[in-house]
A and B are shown apart, each in its own frame.
Chain A
Amino acid sequence: MSPPSNNLKDIPIYAQAEEAYSVGNIRALLEEIAARLEKLDDNGETWMIDLNSLPFAPGEYEQLRQALGQGEISARIEAIGASEIIETHYPGVWWVTHYNVEGDTVADMIEIAWLPEIIKSQPEDVHAGLQRLKAQLNERGE
């Protein structure tokens, strides 16, 4: 038997509740982060958690933000679109979000490390930059 049909205009509209429910993802994630942070503490082992692959219930993503909070560092990268990196309340636990030029999220992850890879200067870029600097010095010299 099919359910009673609803006329579209008879369906009332409800704004989403502020306090959304949790289905347990937050606790599980925090446990994983704690375990990985311990590994970082013990032997410097780094880890990344891809948030895009997790089935968050509505409201859980914000709950995670609240749980991890914002620490002392926030950095912004401009490379084919912006990237935002913050250190959370827990040092060593970083939240890295990559955007494209249109402002859409292309990657969103929790990184447990001394410093996220993306912030470090890359050897190839350093080399290319050195060449540019030397060229500029030559120009000035003349």
Chain B
Amino acid sequence: MDHETLGYETLGECLAQQGISRRAFLKFCTAMATLMALPPGSAAAIAEALIKAKRPSVIWLSFQECTGCTESLTRSHTPTLESLIFDMISLDYHHTLQAASGYGAEKSREDAMQKFFGKYLLVVDGSVPVKDGGIYSTIAGRTNLDLLQEAAKGAAAIIAVGSCASFGGIPNAKPNPTGAVPVSELIKDKPIINISGCPPIPAVIAGVLAHYLTFGELPELDDLGRPKSFYGETIHDRCYRRPFYDQGKFAKSFDDEGARNGWCLFELGCKGPTTHNACATTKWNGGTSFPIESGHGCLGCSEPLFWDAGSFYTPLSAPTANIESIAAGSAVVGAGIAVALSVADRAKKRRAQQAHEKLTVKEL
């Protein structure tokens, strides 16, 4: 990819070059509005902004991850939208998607970072191991830690895609043998947006990129750094099975009568009430379905530390640790104390009786 020529064209020029009509562009902007969860009437404003938008360079670094987030994005059911986005950005480095490899690829990355210093968008998926100097994940002989710190210096903003980059994810779960940490724990001086989820909904990833391209800045974030337009509500608040929750109609086990009637999955461990994401409205696979609609409770995958939050099948109202044996143990200890004390007290009583002295309850 020769980024000399792909540097700073505006989108308007890009589209004109491809012979795309204004009507087609308007359709594209309508789709973008839907993607960004903006009111559909804002297509015109988006068109206005996009026509003048410049093409930013994007560096995508994959660290300690399973590649699910990249897979999610490439499964985005708007390939034309995505291809337009990828036409709109200059994806100068993505070691899974790019054709180049080896020293040439690394050189490309370094060149892009140098040329567009201070202006490129850094996308990160995967957590960063820091234990033992970060040796547990390396690319081209350099640790992820090192690569991140170098790339962050010249980035205009950092997009942490997936729960691993946002909150640490599965490598960060107990006992965290590699010392995995999220991006936000390492980089403190750049704007970071967390697109959490395991993986995130592809439309959400594309929507955030679209927002950045349209408006030149990151969208409004919640207190965990996630875009409010997608993570502002809990699954519970938008779940179509909510009427069943309110009426107390719960499925008691998988595939029982209640489950087949589509009743609420709270008692099967659904973490919907404490999970913020867009699954209940935007859904997955182009709006086909989402876990609850398919009969399985929400795992809470867009929240921090969800792997360590107790079993996926324990309801939110039930304890995550064993109570029965603790209670039994305490009963035994309590009984022991009672017996011991009453032996001592009876001895006191006997002594008092023999000494013909009065004994009050307070003395026992």
Binding site for B on A (CB under 8 A): 1-4, 6, 11-12, 14, 21, 23-25, 46-50, 52-58, 60, 77, 79-81, 83, 98, 100-102, 104-109, 111, 117-118, 121-125, 128
* Consensus secondary structure, chain A interface: loop
Q: How many chain B residues touch A (Cβ–Cβ < 8 Å)?
A: 47
- Inter-chain contact B34/A106, CB cutoff 8 Å: yes
Query: Please, how many angstroms separate the alpha-carbon atoms of A55 and B293 in the complex?
Result: 11
- Inter-chain contact B23/A55, CB cutoff 8 Å: no
- Inter-chain contact B287/A52, CB cutoff 8 Å: yes
Residues of B within 8 A of A81 (CB): 80
Nearest Cβ on chain B to A2's Cβ, whole angstroms: 5
Asked if B134 CB lies within 8 Å of chain A CBs, one says no
Residues of B within 8 A of A60 (CB): 240
Residues of A within 8 A of B314 (CB): 2
21 A-B residue pairs with Cβ-Cβ distance under 8 Å, sorted by A, are A1-B318, A2-B313, A3-B254, A3-B313, A6-B254, A25-B240, A48-B41, A56-B240, A60-B240, A77-B27, A79-B24, A98-B31, A100-B31, A101-B79, A104-B286, A105-B287, A106-B35, A106-B78, A109-B40, A111-B40, A122-B26
Residue of B nearest to A106 (CB): B31
Q: Which residues between 269 and 318 of chain B lie within 8 Å of chain A, taking CB atoms?
A: 280-282, 286-287, 293, 311, 313-314, 318
Nearest Cβ on chain B to A53's Cβ, whole angstroms: 5
Residues of A within 8 A of B260 (CB): 14
Query: Please, how many angstroms separate the alpha-carbon atoms of A83 and B253 in the complex?
Result: 43
- Inter-chain contact A12/B34, CB cutoff 8 Å: no
- Inter-chain contact A80/B252, CB cutoff 8 Å: no
Query: Please, how many angstroms separate the alpha-carbon atoms of A47 and B290 in the complex?
Result: 29
Q: Which residues between 76 and 132 of chain B lie within 8 Å of chain A, taking CB atoms?
A: 77-81, 84
- Inter-chain contact A11/B255, CB cutoff 8 Å: yes
- Inter-chain contact B243/A118, CB cutoff 8 Å: no
Number of A-B contacts (CB under 8 A): 124
Residues of A within 8 A of B84 (CB): 80
With A50-B39, A80-B80, A122-B21 as contacts: A3 and B30 at CB distance below 8 Å: no
Query: Please, how many angstroms separate the alpha-carbon atoms of A101 and B77 in the complex?
Result: 11
- Inter-chain contact B30/A118, CB cutoff 8 Å: yes
Nearest Cβ on chain B to A109's Cβ, whole angstroms: 5
Asked if B268 CB lies within 8 Å of chain A CBs, one says yes
Query: Please, how many angstroms separate the alpha-carbon atoms of A45 and B252 in the complex?
Result: 49
- Inter-chain contact B40/A24, CB cutoff 8 Å: no
Query: Please, how many angstroms separate the alpha-carbon atoms of A46 and B37 in the complex?
Result: 19
Asked if B262 CB lies within 8 Å of chain A CBs, one says yes
Which interface residue of B22, B33, B260 has the most chain A CB atoms within 10 A? B22
- Inter-chain contact B268/A80, CB cutoff 8 Å: no
